[in-house]
Amino acid sequence: MVFEDIVGQSNAIKVIKNSLLNNRAGHAYIFCGPDGVGKSLAASIFAAALNCKEAEGNPCNLCTSCIKAKSGNHPDIIDFKTERTIIRVDDIRGLQKDMQKKPYESENNIYIIHEGDKMNEEAQNCLLKTLEEPPLYVTIIILAKNEHYFLSTITSRCQIVKFTRAPEKEIEDYLKKNMGVLDYEARYAASFSEGILQRAKDYLSNDEFKESRNNIINMCARIKSIDKAGALSYLNYFMDNKSKIDYILTVMVSFYRDIMIYKETKDNKYITNIDKVDIINRESLKYTYTNLYNIISVLKQTSDNLKYNINFQLSMELMLLKLQEG
């Protein structure tokens, strides 16, 4: 468990490691960025390093403190999580009460607040009192999607560490090295991940996602060969899988993009769905470049429309008809 295990976050890791190497760790941090990019893992490694007497930028992973931290049983590393949609003032007061206790075994009590952007304004104002006068032995790490959610009085008292979407190639290389997957699987999972390593790992470990991808591609390969009524018959599939629509649209865009690229290059090294090259080759004969450009635009417009709560069924019906028209 070292910082180098975190993929595509070199800038964030440099900031954290420098604070350790220079013995200048602060009392409060906000680790912000999309879910699944490594914020939680970084916080756990940072917490372990803060309580490791042998740490040199990374925890040693050998001492008793590190072993307890890795197993999640360190009494001085407290993970706060809640299933509720809001972190309330009572939650923060409970943490503050706990912060009055000195560390049991180490020099620091580290509090990792997950989904910190769930804090309502009252809870943030309550936490502010601790940030203004933190106990010397307390370090607070708040994990959140966006630092702009917090009151300016909170962010001004925390060190902001920004985590970003990882480069696709770094995710692909990680998957091949650490998960033992085939090249085409790593390439596709990295492409689908949109820079989020956890999303790529979830895809590779979930047979349902793989089966769903096959169904989506088979639908796309058939839709131009059927009439409008046949195209609309797929509406039930979208209605039944409404919660997965982002994934479905991502797969569809990748498929039509592959057709466009293959039509131009006749080279499968540039396509994402390399295991579907026979289907892609066949479909490339049915479309013009203009057709493919318009289809990809329709899919992206559909995705944008759904973000603005435009009627889901109507959006799907219009999309299916435009796909059928090509």
What does each C-alpha distance from 199 to 1, 36, 140 come to in angstroms? 20, 7, 27
**Residue 278 — pLDDT band, cuts 50, 70, 90?**
very high
Q: Which residues pair with 160 in a beta bridge?
A: 30
CA 157, chain centre distance (Å): 26
All residues at 6 or more sequence positions from 163 whose CB lies less than 8 Å from its CB, including other chains: 9, 12, 31, 32, 33, 34, 37, 38, 39, 42
Share of the chain above pLDDT 70, in %: 100
Structure pTM?
Answer: 0.80
Q: Domain coordinates of the chain in residue numbers?
A: 3-162, 206-325
Quick check: 259 pLDDT over 90? yes
Q: What's the pLDDT at 163?
A: 97
- The DSSP result for 298-326, as a single string, is HHHHHHHHHHTT--HHHHHHHHHHHHHH-
240 token code pair: 């039944």
Contact between 217 and 316 (Cβ < 8 Å): no
As its CATH architecture, domain 206-325 has Up-down Bundle (1.20)
pLDDT (tens digit per residue) in 127-154: 999 999 999 999 999 999 999 999 999 9
The number of CA neighbours under 13 Å toward the Cβ of 94 is: 11
The amino acid present at 34, given as its one-letter code, is P
SS3 of residue 267 by DSSP: coil
Distance CA 326, CA 319 (A): 11
Q: What's the pLDDT at 282?
A: 94
Q: What is the mean pLDDT of the chain?
A: 93
pLDDT (tens digit per residue) in 30-62: 999 999 999 999 999 999 999 999 988 999 999
Q: What's the pLDDT at 1?
A: 83
Contact between 139 and 27 (Cβ < 8 Å): yes
Q: Which residue has the higher pLDDT, 165 or 203?
A: 165
Quick check: 232 pLDDT over 90? yes
CA proximity to 166, closest of 45, 13, 301, 2: 13
Range 203-226 average pLDDT: 89
Q: What's the pLDDT at 236?
A: 94
CA proximity to 271, closest of 282, 283, 284, 257: 257
69 token code pair: 């931290």
As its CATH architecture, domain 3-162 has 3-Layer(aba) Sandwich (3.40)
Q: What's the pLDDT at 308?
A: 83
pLDDT (tens digit per residue) in 290-308: 999 999 999 999 999 888 8
CA proximity to 50, closest of 97, 3, 11: 3
Range 272-281 average pLDDT: 91
Q: What's the pLDDT at 187?
A: 87
Element (H, E) at 15: helix 10-21
Quick check: 326 pLDDT over 80? no
